[in-house]
Structure 1
Amino acid sequence: MREISTDLCVIGAGSGGLSVAAGAVQMGAKVVLIEKGEMGGDCLNFGCVPSKSLLHASATGQRFKEGMAHVRSSIETIAPHDSQERFEGLGCTVIRAEACFTGPRSLIAGNVSVSARRFIVATGSRPRIPDIDGLGDVPYLTNETIWSLSDLPEHLLIIGGGPIGMEMAQAFRRFGGEVTVVTPHAILGREDAEAVGVVRGALASEGIHLREGARPVRAALDGENIQLTLESGERISGSHLLIATGRSANVEGLGFDAAGVEVDPDGIVTGPNLRTSNRAIYALGDVRSGQRRFTHVAGDQAGLIVRQVLFGLPAKLKEAHLPHATYTDPELAQVGLTEAAAKDLYGEKLEVYRVDYSGNDRAIATVRAGHGFLKLMVLKGRPVGVTIVGPDAGELIALWSLAISAKLKMSQIAGMVAPYPTLAELNKRAASAYFTPRLFENRKVNWIVRLIQKLVP
């Protein structure tokens, strides 16, 4: 068996693992990168890239087969950046095999034994399959297998009302298929309820059947169709079934008992510095317990780990500035606290401001005004949360992530200048709305202005 001793061993070549490996090796560290599946991980091969490619294709009038060809093209274009060849060119030792710890500072991957000063576990997550009677006896799709479809499903049943379910519901409906979403809870249940209402209305107007509060208890074949029986006794049939009920951390088979790494039902337990119960082992991304499972979150955590393992500097996880978005039409984006969460935490000290897309000239000019809005939560002159629902919400939210991260004051945000006409003016208007009552509805300000007009020649 071949033996390797290295500074850093990264397990998992998804976005987080690749970011750590690339940063570390280019700064002079010896790096071993282990991946048992596809380079690029879930985001490139099954998640963000294919889903956003399919959404784009469905929104631009392409046929289903053209859309799937666009998905493959997008993956193929990005893949070289995440490839084994690129990382070997950077100086990493890449091992394509399954890793298993044999001790606190050692593991085996294929026919290679690796010892390292530090290990980074970035093995990601997989689709969580719900416990539904008979589900194992019917063919179903997940976000990993849906890309193998060659023909448009006549009627796609989707179990799950989260971002994946909603995005795929809209894409397949726009390609011309019938779509029914079945979810025991409200769709996008963790988001601002008012913003979800805008998305819900848009999806329903396109003919997507939303069965919220409906719990499937049994799945069975009904001829060539798949039939779901709901808790109420009602039965729904469709040609295909997509399971979109969340994610489970990939922790199996990694030998964490031998490594002394604590794992709970949700994933690897870490401290705020991303260290596990074994000080030589860190974990990042979807595999962490309690993790917000987004690609950009894993990327942010990669930077924290590089700071610690390469430079010996302290770093702790901060999440208030981490945004996320659901890429339906309209998009729904959030950073920081929702209105409900902020009111629960801060009570009457909280100020809430809202500006509508219907008042934005760019939205009007491009026939995109709709019913979207930006909602801003402010505490003591600083933003603590922003909700945006409408076109390009995922782009607009980035400014507010910076504002919260840098602890900017509302006066600093109001000082930004956006090109005219752009949707970015919504951000400017929201910041300006904070000052409206302070400037235009303030008697003291009015008195000062009148006095100055009399005294200044």
Structure 2
Amino acid sequence: MFHSYPLPNPSHVVADDNEFGLNSRPAGWRNPQPREPYHLLVIGAGPAGLVAARAAAALGARVALVERHLLGGLSLNYGCVPSQALIRSSRLYAEMRNAEVYGVRTPQAIEVDFQLVMERMRRIRARAGRVDSARHVAAAGVDLFFGSARFVNSDAVDVDGVRLRFKKALIATGSRSLLPTIPGLDDAGYLTNETLFDITALPKSLLVIGGGPVGCQVAQALCRFGCRTIIAHAEPLFLPKEERDAAQLLADALARDGVETHLNTKAVNVRVEGGKKLVETINDGNVATIEVDEILTGIGRLPAIAGLNLEAAGVDYDPDRGIVVDDFLRTTNRLIFAAGDACLEHMFTDTAEASARIVVRNALCFGRVRLSALTIPWCTYTDPEIAHVGLYVRQARERGIPVKTYTVPLHEIDRALTDSEENGFVKIHVQDGSDKILGATVVARHAGEMINSLSLAMVAGIGLSTIAQVIHAYPTQAEGIRKAAMAHADTPPPRWMALLRRWWFAR
């Protein structure tokens, strides 16, 4: 049974939105007088731009940071922070409905107050924005300009009529939603991850176009709030980049929550009748119509590089793939670098920040740090989460690397049993004949936390043999990593060593 109630105190929303505005773009902000030429001019104040600007200023450089919209970029405003707040609330509702699994009586009436959920999200987003508020950025010694930047030549940009010259520049403009071309979609209206967090009422039904990480996360969360949720995925495989057993576990979890998933299904037309959105779909030649209240496009993102006049700066780019950079993140103009979603294949907050640090070292400190040297983990924040780092088996085989895999299902882990979270596994790939970790996939409630220790091991060159010697706190779900390492340590020795041991103990 689902109910919606008025927000207990609407002034809380106003207060949170006011703080959010003061942090991300204060009303009446006056851009500073230029101190040109700037040692580093940064375009875009998302995770990459903010990290680069602060790091460069800490070195003593003259730094300008230009932001067209809001400080914090996608991650703070429309991505990780607000989505994680929603996901956590939806998880609690799911746990309340499944209370008997934990030996607790399920409440008779679980009342979903979606407006209260959104109030919490806004409060958290406002609080998270305090660290990188306009006041704090300026206090760090960064000249903060709000406006649209446009290159006028190879070493200068125009920001709403003011010219800023630079010795080095960084393009960190992030990405934007990739919108499908479907007849009638614009007229019917739709949501993206950039508008989803503006809604105040839970839709009764929702069609998510795209079965990628973003679409899956949102679909599961809203379904747990009580929204009938459908995923239409044009590809034959669910989460096509992930390992098949991991994707299947998630598909099963979504089905248990009530999410309807249609693979090989393409939305081809949208119309509105009687206040409902009717989406015509095709699956293997069969035409069907899905009736929903809202549509969410969750099919991916594109680099946000339009309007920069990159031609004037001599910077090559591809509209779909972003700015062309080398392994040092330099563009075709050696004075200009790029970082984050504007140029990278992996559009993650942590990758954006890491690439920004590379730019500061290479642009200002004569560094030669390579992007290819990074070890990049990622995680899909569904329940269970799917986290991965390094190579998949198929990638290792394509490179001619022999692989051996150690898999530990979570139902063999005591903590997973006590938590009733045994649907998952730890899977670690090593180079056959050694203990070198090539990659790993973790499917678990907190897989994003667990993958970090494996990322650390890979960066530090720590093999499975060493991990097997590390005492892990008990009981934790990370015990699955130790068990995989122990499985490697218990691998039968080569024949010559077995014969040597037999001779030794037979003395």
Normalised to the residue count of structure 2, the TM-score between the two structures is 0.86
SS of residue matched to 2:84: helix
Deviations 1:342-368, CA, capped at 9 Å, x for gaps: 233336x21111111111111111221
Give the superposition deviation at 1:320.
6.1
Query: Please, which runs of 5 or more residues in structure 1 have no aligned partner?
Result: none
Aligned-partner Cα distance in 2 for 1:449–1:437: 15
Q: 1:418 aligns with which of 472, 484, 503?
A: 472
Moved more, 103-112 or 161-170: 103-112
Give the superposition deviation at 1:271.
0.5
Asked if residue 190 in structure 1 is aligned to residue 241 in structure 2, the reply is yes
Q: 2:273 aligns with which of 222, 247, 255?
A: 222
Q: Which amino acid counterpart does residue 268 of structure 2 have in structure 1?
A: V
Contact in 2 for aligned 1:4/1:112 (Cα 8 Å): no
Asked if residue 58 in structure 1 is aligned to residue 90 in structure 2, the reply is yes
Q: 1:358 aligns with which of 408, 411, 436?
A: 411
1:88 maps to: 138
Q: Percent identity?
A: 34
Q: Which amino acid counterpart does residue 279 of structure 1 have in structure 2?
A: R
Q: How does 1:6-405 map to 2 (within 5 A)?
A: 6-61=38-93, 63-185=113-235, 186-231=237-282, 232-265=286-319, 266-288=321-343, 290-318=344-372, 321-346=375-400, 349-370=402-423, 372-379=424-431, 380-405=434-459
Contact in 1 for aligned 2:465/2:488 (Cα 8 Å): no
Deviations 1:71-102, CA, capped at 9 Å, x for gaps: 10110111111111001011100001110010
Give the superposition deviation at 1:307.
1.4
Q: CA RMSD in A?
A: 1.7
Deviations 1:358-412, CA, capped at 9 Å, x for gaps: 1111111122112x11111111320111011112111111112122222322222
Aligned-partner Cα distance in 2 for 1:413–1:309: 37
Deviations 1:126-162, CA, capped at 9 Å, x for gaps: 1010111121211100000011111111001110111
Paired residues in the alignment total: 450
Q: Which amino acid counterpart does residue 276 of structure 1 have in structure 2?
A: T
Give the superposition deviation at 1:313.
1.5
Give the superposition deviation at 1:296.
0.6
Give the superposition deviation at 1:39.
0.5
Q: Which amino acid counterpart does residue 300 of structure 1 have in structure 2?
A: A
Query: Please, which runs of 5 or more residues in structure 2 have no aligned partner?
Result: 1-31, 94-111
Contact in 1 for aligned 2:35/2:62 (Cα 8 Å): no
Deviations 1:218-262, CA, capped at 9 Å, x for gaps: 111122111111123211110011011100111111110111100
Alpha carbons of 1:192 and 1:422: their partners in 2 closer, same or farther (altered >3 Å)? same
Q: Which amino acid counterpart does residue 209 of structure 2 have in structure 1?
A: I
SS of residue matched to 2:371: coil
Normalised to the residue count of structure 1, the TM-score between the two structures is 0.95
SS of residue matched to 2:491: helix
Deviations 1:265-316, CA, capped at 9 Å, x for gaps: 221110011000000000001111x521111110111121121123111111
Aligned-partner Cα distance in 2 for 1:245–1:169: 13
SS of residue matched to 1:309: helix
Contact in 1 for aligned 2:207/2:231 (Cα 8 Å): yes
SS of residue matched to 1:346: coil
Aligned-partner Cα distance in 1 for 2:374–2:128: 30
